[in-house]
Amino acid sequence: MPEALQSVRKVIDPFYTVHGRHSSLVLDCRGTAPAILYWGVRLRPSTSPDMLALLATEQEAPACPTEEAPISLSPELGAGFQGNPGIQVHRQGLQWAVSAHIESVTQANDGHLTIVSVCEGTQLRITHRLGLDCDTDVLSASTELCNIGDSRLSVEQCNTPSIPVPINYNKILGFQGRWAKEFQLQSVDRFSGTYLRENRSGRTSHDSFPGVIIHTEQTSEASGAAYGLHLGWSGNHRIRVEEQFRGRAYAQLGELFFPGELNLDPKQSYCSPVLYGASTNNGLSALSKCFHSYIRSHLSDGRMAEKTKSVHFNTWEAMYFDLTLERLQALADSAAKVGAERFVLDDGWFKNRKSDRAGLGDWTVDKSVFPDGLGPLIDYVHGKDMEFGLWIEPEMVNPDSDLFRAHADWILSTPPAPLILSRNQLVLDLTRTEVQDYLFNCIDALLIQYPIAYLKWDMNRVINQPGNAEGRAVSHYQTLALYGLLARVRAAHPMVEIESCSSGGGRADFGILGYTDRIWPSDSNDALDRLAIQKGFSMFFPAEFMGAHVGPRDCHITGRSISMTTRAGVAMFGDMGIEANLLEMDDKEKQVLTSAVSLHKQHRQLIHNGDLVRLDTSEHENSFGIIAANQREALFSYALLDSPATTSMGHLRLRGLEANTLYKVTIIWPSAPRSGPSSIVDVIDGSMLSGDALMNFGLQLPIMQPTSLLIFHLTS
């Protein structure tokens, strides 16, 4: 027996309890494998784990083993588990049945648990780590494998710790979508069998965000029990919610590996991405509050803590590839006049980049457009009191580029299959040191030469053929290499902000937030589509990380024409920006836009720090509020998406206010609201109303036209 398997088993307590502010987690270590006995509302001191274990006593089911394999943190094939195992490994087809025994459990002063188990049959050491943040109630959990045998170990699956799901959590709220329509909520009744979403795109993906919410039939935004689970990983993943025939159910999230992708040599380890979870009995908005608070306190980078989020102007939908210094300067003039604080030069600035067919990989300034480099434009932008930002797409290369002609072997591919082009580009193999060095040196040179405050880091295609020069699948290592490159850029230029764009929403997860400062949720700036996209995004991410831009009157993706009032009112509730041709706007549109930017600046500290509550509305409505922590100020947005079935509108019942406090209610957007005959918009401004009345009776909504909205400001 290998020496590592001869360790002395330490004394293990039967139960370990971790408390958050509002929740508790109880780990059951009575058997050979650790399992979650309880995760929910914070337990009172009078409740012991032994009581919970007694209450959880199950009867032997007909035609089933006397002792059924538990839903342990990593359910085991060797224990006879008939669902999906947490870990699947083998050594050339042998030593595949994991059946581990707990070796030690360590509980740190902050409550975090480390459970070490050893499987003699597979010669594997398994380390589970679980922590429940005491302030935000967010669970963090991971699984680490170490090969303690003397031969190579093939790893086919290593999920994060499995979460048992109560039988009454019978609804699954997942995410579906596509490019330009990301973060679409999909509600499914839990069923006997497997709910499974898989992503093989090599990034977080547009169609399968790595998060899921499991809740009861009665759960709404305002009340009810729910689990929220998210995998903090920017690559391939798998989400599984499985109900077994007995009614037992569990959730598993983990990285998805291609064949032969992960092998561990002796003493080598692999650690899963982190699973982030939250449990609440107070509805979906409370669940989101847990995640938002955790991001703000744990994942956001402290180097930007004191910096206010700047209002963007982005050149893409104003100019596309048709760049000239004169037009860019004219746009900078207009952007400054409407209140922009950052000017971002998008695609088209580098060598031979006249379309999306050439230039990617050659990260030097195109002298035919900028004969004197970017300096004159940056100086002009700075002269207008705006920061300068730049678009890059480092992971990609066009076949028509100097880089590809010199290093065609630097790409990911799966020969003899023909190369798959997407947006006329291929994917560079970031796992190669020379590729990493080349890209870092290009970016570093730009940031040294020019005072660039912001990088829009894009990635405009799926990784369809993730094979390296040896023919091995490397999606896992490609993601780690991306993290390494981003970390290297940030270390060299710590005050440069970085946006995770990825064709809009394609790389949005807690993992990428360790290296970036903003996420672009979608390439669609259609305000109506954005309301749904931003609602789905808000389930896990707070407003200050959500790029939200005012697009052109006629959206170039949907063709829909929407008023400036609505476009600006929707964009106001994120990290606000403008992505439209200001040179084509009439004076009235510019006036409305200027007012919206000014209003956003006036309230952005609340928007970027307050607590979000989404209101339960019909399908033709969208409404939410952002409330100060002390409940003395709030903003509420109400949008009518389509014509209602009745002429008269209902009451808008607000939430999250202090019932006994009197609030001054003002309609702040549109700047001059109209509703035909006299209505609430004519009488409510300046009224003093109790939180009790606003929440339990609500505002009588005026008759509104579809695609219009109102924003209410409340101050105590």
Residue the block writes with tokens 């195109």: 366
**What b/e sequence results for 62-101 when a residue is b if at least 16 CB atoms lie within 10 Å of its CB, and e otherwise?**
eeeeeebbbbbbbbbbbbebebbbbbbbebeeebbbbbbe
- For residue 336 the two structure tokens come to 């400054």
Cα 96 from Cα 147, distance rounded (Å): 13
Q: What tokens appear for 354 in the block?
A: 């006249």
Task: Give yes or no: 356 in active site.
Answer: no
CA distance 386 to 378: 9
**Tokens read off for 188:** 């499914």
Q: What are residue 636's DSSP bridge partners?
A: 625, 712
Number of Cα atoms under 13 Å in the Cβ half of residue 348: 19
Task: Kindly report the number of other CB atoms within 10 A of residue 479's CB atom.
Answer: 26
> Which residue reads 């329509």 in tokens?
181
CA 23 to chain centre: 23
Structure tokens, 351: 């060598």
Give the span between the Cα atoms of 625 and 665, in whole angstroms: 13
Cis amide leading into 416 (omega within 30): yes
Distance CA 230, CA 211 (A): 4
b/e per residue 284-318 (b: at least 16 CB within 10 A): bbbbbbbbbbbbbebbbeeeeeeeebbbbbbbbbb
Q: Is 652:638 a contact under the CB 8 Å cutoff?
A: yes
Both structure tokens of 708: 């219009």
| Burial label, 116 (beta-carbon count in 10 A; 0-12, 13-18, 19+) | buried
In the residue annotation, 611 being an active-site residue is answered as no
**For residue 50, how far is the Cα from the chain centroid?**
38
C-alpha span between 659 and 80 (Å, rounded) = 54
Catalytic residue among 429, 523, 526, 611: 523
The sign of the torsion formed by the CA atoms of 463, 468, 472, 474 equals: negative
From 28, 347, 458, 509, active-site residue? 458
List the catalytic residues. 458, 523
